[in-house]
Amino acid sequence: MEFRAIINGKKVLNDNWLEIINPSDQKVAGRVTALSEKEISEAFEVARNSQLKWSQTKLLDRIMVLKKFRDLIENNSLKIAQIMSLEIAKGLKDSQIEVQRTLELIDYTFEEAKRLNPLALTGEEFGVENKLGVFSRVPKGVVLAISPFNYPVNLSLAKIFPALVTGNTVVFKPATAGSLVGAFLGELSLEANLPPGIFNVVTGRGREIGDLITANPQINFISFTGSVGVGEHLKSISQTKDFVLELGGKDPALVLDDQNLEINAKEIVAGAFGYSGQRCTAIKRVLTTDEIADKLVPLLLKEVKKLKVGYPNDNPDIVPMIDEKSAEFVQTLVDDAKEKKAKIIFGGNRKKNMFEPTLVDYVTKDMKLAWEEPFGPVLPILRLKSVGEMIEIANESNFGLQASIFSRDINQAIKIAKALNCGTVNINGKSQRGPDSFPFSGIKDSGMGVQGVREALLSMTRFKGIVINYK
Ligand code: NAP
Ligand code: G3H
């Protein structure tokens, strides 16, 4: 497979390539263009130059043009899922679900864009009799969209479509693992005849071209999803200070009582191990009491033993991790916990980047696994003294993305939900972004700003007021 970067409605025909490695067999899955500094600045120039005309195109015409792009995504949905599945080792079925979910998000985005109505205000409540203000939402200008490897379709198009439909132009940088599908989306945009320059796909390795991209002075707004380290770095070097950042998480599941433990164990295991735990919203620690843990751990073990380990075409639960370096990192967390006397209930080992589903009991506060995000198939269990201590440990984390509370007592659950410092609390369910229309946000190291359909449209536009003074 070979896909080119797209700048100004054309494929970039240089001779430099970036090879994309298939995590399932470590062989080259394909290659994409590796862009030069000059080509990257050209992408921003054309995005800037095409923005005014695009923003002046009627909303319904913009939707009509973008609808062709959306329909091509639908017509190619199997191919898109296959490419994605190959380069990030996500199960084929899960990849298809990701594409379908994204098509729904796009449709919803078109509808919501029609409802970004202007606000008309008078000053009469303040005794100002002669003013009429009309406040419309206008595009911010050039949007830089940077996506992570784990949802290369959903977390890319959830930025691209809201930006374009509101009259911004886009420079899109996919993750290296995720570039084949990212650049293929670029090819579909050519087939859809989007006006040249409004959507540009820049490919290359983040550590080589990242700074050239993020420091470009043409950018008005950045929508970034990825790790805390890259997010913080980007914040420090970009000239615009207008961002939405979606970063890491260490989502806790607080199990408050021993009711429905079988059902809850199933839900926790699904939340922790889907796509080998490589989800920002994966359950990344269980917080409970000794007494409950004695009953819960055997049930978690029963569920973990059922997980199918394999390769994407067989749609297993556990697939190879994105690369060996990431698996090595998970191993250091598990080994540290083992050395400090945690009990490995299941798994704990790996062959290269294939990490066994791993359940670790008796994790304590001095272990890295209690605090760091593994982004792999590992679930630590912390046995605590009280519900008060569960809240304390949940809130002590640097992260604040989501949390889950499992309890039959809805009054207690709501009380605790209010005490947890994070973006969203799920009662009696795993942590989860979807449905994509929900506002999605993290606090502390988990990010800033809000995603979601309406929220993305709002973040990529600003109020522009015109005030009429009359007599
Ligand atoms: P990552 O390594 O931070 O990469 C994210 C994106 O940034 C990729 O496109 C990457 O390109 C690019 N990048 C790397 N260095 C850069 C630089 N100096 N300047 C600009 N861009 C640069 O993250 P990842 O491994 O793909 O994703 C996993 C992380 O994302 C986890 O921490 C996870 O929790 C987080 N995540 C958060 C959310 C959320 O909504 N909160 C959702 C999904 C994932 P290359 O691939 O080419 O390096
Ligand atoms: O990695 C982060 C994704 O946005 C998670 O989405 O919780 O719906 O699987 P999800």
> What tens digit of pLDDT does each residue of 372-412 get?
999 999 999 999 999 999 999 999 999 999 999 999 999 99
The pair of three-digit structure tokens given for residue 183, joined into one six-digit string: 């650049």
Do residues 178 and 88 make contact, with C-beta atoms less than 8 angstroms apart? yes
Decide whether any atom of ligand 2 lies within 6 Å of the 432 Cβ. yes
The CA–CA distances, whole Å, from 289 to 251, 254, 256 equal: 18, 9, 8
Q: What is the pLDDT of residue 51?
A: 98
**What are the backbone dihedrals phi and psi of residue 232, each rounded to the nearest 5 degrees, phi first?**
-65, -40
Share of the chain above pLDDT 70, in %: 100
Q: Which of 42, 87, 112, 246 is catalytic?
A: 246
Protein residues whose CB sits closer than 6 Å to any atom of ligand 1 = 146-150, 155, 173, 175-176, 205-207, 210-211, 213-214, 225-227, 230, 233-234, 246-249, 280, 373, 375, 401, 442, 446-447
Share of the chain above pLDDT 90, in %: 99
> What tens digit of pLDDT does each residue of 52-67 get?
999 999 999 999 999 9
Q: What is the pLDDT of residue 369?
A: 98
Nearest alpha carbon to residue 432 among 110, 151, 103, 84 = 151
The minimum-distance atom of ligand 1 relative to the CA of 226 is: 30
Q: What is the pLDDT of residue 117?
A: 87
The minimum-distance atom of ligand 2 relative to the CA of 148 is: 1
Distance CA 206, CA 149 (A): 12
Summary mean pLDDT of the chain: 98
Q: How far apart are the first and last CA of the chain?
A: 67
Q: Taking 90 as the threshold, does the pLDDT of residue 448 lie above it? A: yes
Mutation test residue for ligand 1: of 20, 31, 33, 146, the one with most atoms within 8 Å of CB: 146
- Ligand positioned closest to the Cα atom of 154: 2
Of the candidate CATH numbers 3.40.309.10, 3.40.50.620, 1.10.8.100, 3.40.640.10, the domain formed by 251-439 belongs to 3.40.309.10
Q: What is the pLDDT of residue 165?
A: 98
> What tens digit of pLDDT does each residue of 327-371 get?
999 999 999 999 999 999 999 999 999 999 999 999 999 999 999
For the question of residue 246 being annotated catalytic, the response is yes
Kindly tell me the burial class for residue 463, based on how many C-beta atoms sit within 10 Å of its own C-beta (0-12, 13-18, 19 or more): exposed
> What tens digit of pLDDT does each residue of 188-242 get?
999 999 999 999 999 999 999 999 999 999 999 999 999 999 999 999 999 999 9
Secondary structure of the chain in HEC code, one letter for each residue: CEECCEECCEECCCCCEEEEECCCCCCEEEEEECCCHHHHHHHHHHHHHHHHHHHHCCHHHHHHHHHHHHHHHHHCHHHHHHHHHHHHCCCHHHHHHHHHHHHHHHHHHHHHHCCCCCEEEECHHHCCCCEEEEEEEEECCEEEEECCCCCCCHHHHHHHHHHHHCCCEEEEECCCCCHHHHHHHHHHHHHCCCCCCCEEECCCCHHHHHHHHHCCCCCCEEEEECCHHHHHHHHHHCCCCCEEEECCCCEEEEECCCCCHHHHHHHHHHHHHHHHHCCCCCEEEEEEEHHHHHHHHHHHHHHHHHCCECCHHHCCCECCCCCHHHHHHHHHHHHHHHHCCCEEEECCCEECCEECCEEEECCCCCCHHHCCCCCCCEEEEEEECCHHHHHHHHHHCCEECEEEEECCCHHHHHHHHHHCCCCEEEECCCCCCCCCCCCEECEECCEECEECHHHHHHHCEEEEEEEEECC
> What tens digit of pLDDT does each residue of 449-468 get?
999 999 999 999 999 999 99
Distance CA 205, CA 19 (A): 10
Contacts of residue 402, defined as CB under 8 A and 6 or more positions apart, other chains included, come to 249, 251, 281, 422, 423, 424, 425, 426, 431, 432, 442
How many angstroms does the Cα of residue 447 sit away from the middle of ligand 1?
A: 12
Mean local confidence (pLDDT), 28-55: 98
How many angstroms does the Cα of residue 56 sit away from the middle of ligand 2?
A: 34
Locate the domains of the chain by residue range.
2-247+446-469, 251-439
Residue type, 455: E
**Domain 2-247+446-469: assigned CATH number:** 3.40.605.10
- Ligand positioned closest to the Cα atom of 246: 1
Tell me how far apart the 2 most distant CA atoms of the chain are, in Å: 79
The minimum-distance atom of ligand 2 relative to the CA of 274 is: 9
Q: What is the pLDDT of residue 371?
A: 98
Q: What is the pLDDT of residue 10?
A: 98
Mutation test residue for ligand 1: of 150, 216, 432, the one with most atoms within 8 Å of CB: 150
Distance CA 68, CA 75 (A): 10
